[in-house]
């Protein structure tokens, strides 16, 4: 009797156990995204989907070393899920669309790669940089906005400061706002448009770095000349 009762119970529970897949469906796999950097000179197009910016024409005799960071983001972006601004004061969280790594780390690496391409140097380091490296300039970046909206636009507002580490009194700052239209309303297109805004930010910083470096060389030359006289 006990054996018959056990067999009956197994027969009753089997469909329930097998049916758990429909009662508790498996979660959908997340789609992961990263920002992309500019392609090195000589490539027809760049991986950011932008306008194919090339590197600056910089002589090898004019090296420049740069330390990037720290990079600061608003607290609401400290999450893995990608968000879309749907109203001035409201975001929609896309649960299945996620950043593949912390956004500040991704941005710092892409900014490093972009500046390496634009300045044609491999002397670009991300904070904290190696102890045996001493960059000539430090670039601090504060991202005030970094988002896509329901109109398929990517918007970035960033405030950056470049400090001459050989002369801490020499610093320049700027605030840049960039808006890029995505090619379509997909999340992949939105991330590509955000990559384009990072390329624009990189170009703005690269221009300022070269001006700062040229000014430093000119000042050094004038000082050396005055000592000789």
The CATH number of residue 210's host domain is 3.40.50.10610
Among 3-7, 20-24, 44-48, 145-149, the range of highest mean pLDDT: 145-149
Give pLDDT, residue 16: 47
- Indicate whether 199 belongs to any domain: yes
Give pLDDT, residue 64: 85
In 129-182, the DSSP E strands lie at 137-149, 153-164, 171-181
151 three-state secondary structure: coil
- Indicate whether 58 belongs to any domain: no
Q: What is the pLDDT of residues 120-131, one digit of tens each?
A: 999 999 998 888
- Indicate whether 34 belongs to any domain: no
Q: What is the pLDDT of residues 53-101, one digit of tens each?
A: 544 444 344 568 999 988 999 999 999 999 999 999 999 999 999 999 9
32 three-state secondary structure: strand
25 band by pLDDT with thresholds 50, 70 and 90: low
Q: Chain-wide mean pLDDT for the chain?
A: 81
Q: What is the pLDDT of residues 92-101, one digit of tens each?
A: 999 999 999 9
- Indicate whether 145 belongs to any domain: yes
| Cα-based distances in Å from 82 to 37, 76, 89, 152 | 19, 11, 16, 14
Cα separation, 70 vs 66, in Å, equals 12
- Indicate whether 17 belongs to any domain: no
Task: Quote the tokens at residue 138.
Answer: 């430090």
Is the pTM above the cut of 0.85? Answer: no
Q: Give the residue ranges of DSSP H helices in the chain.
A: 2-18, 20-23, 103-119, 187-228
221 band by pLDDT with thresholds 50, 70 and 90: very low
- Indicate whether 133 belongs to any domain: yes
Domain range for 147: 65-228
Least confident window among 39-43, 77-81, 201-205:
39-43
Give pLDDT, residue 185: 94
- Indicate whether 38 belongs to any domain: no
Strand partners, 97: 31
- Indicate whether 172 belongs to any domain: yes
How many domains does the chain divide into? 1
């Amino acid at each position: 009797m006990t054996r018959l009762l056990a067999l009956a119970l197994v027969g009753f529970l089997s469909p329930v156990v097998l049916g758990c897949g429909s009662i508790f469906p498996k979660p959908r796999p997340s789609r992961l995204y990263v920002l992309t950097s500019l392609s090195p000179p000589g490539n027809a197009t760049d991986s950011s989907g932008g306008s194919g910016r090339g590197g600056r024409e910089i002589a090898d005799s004019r090296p420049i070393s740069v330390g990037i960071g720290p990079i600061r983001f608003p607290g609401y972006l400290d999450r893995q899920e990608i968000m879309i601004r749907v109203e001035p004061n409201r975001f929609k969280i896309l649960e299945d669309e996620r950043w593949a790594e912390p956004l500040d780390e991704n941005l710092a690496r892409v900014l490093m790669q972009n500046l390496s391409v634009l300045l044609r140097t491999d002397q670009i380091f991300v904070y904290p940089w190696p102890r045996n490296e001493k960059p000539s300039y430090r670039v601090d970046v504060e991202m005030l906005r970094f988002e896509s909206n329901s109109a398929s636009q990517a918007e970035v507002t960033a405030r950056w400061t470049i400090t001459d580490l050989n002369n801490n009194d020499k610093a320049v700052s700027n605030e840049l706002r960039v808006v890029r239209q995505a090619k379509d309303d997909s999340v992949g297109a939105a991330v590509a448009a955000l990559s384009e805004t990072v390329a624009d930010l990189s170009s703005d910083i690269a221009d300022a770095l070269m001006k700062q470096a040229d000014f430093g060389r000119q000042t050094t030359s004038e000082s050396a000349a005055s000592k000789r006289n």
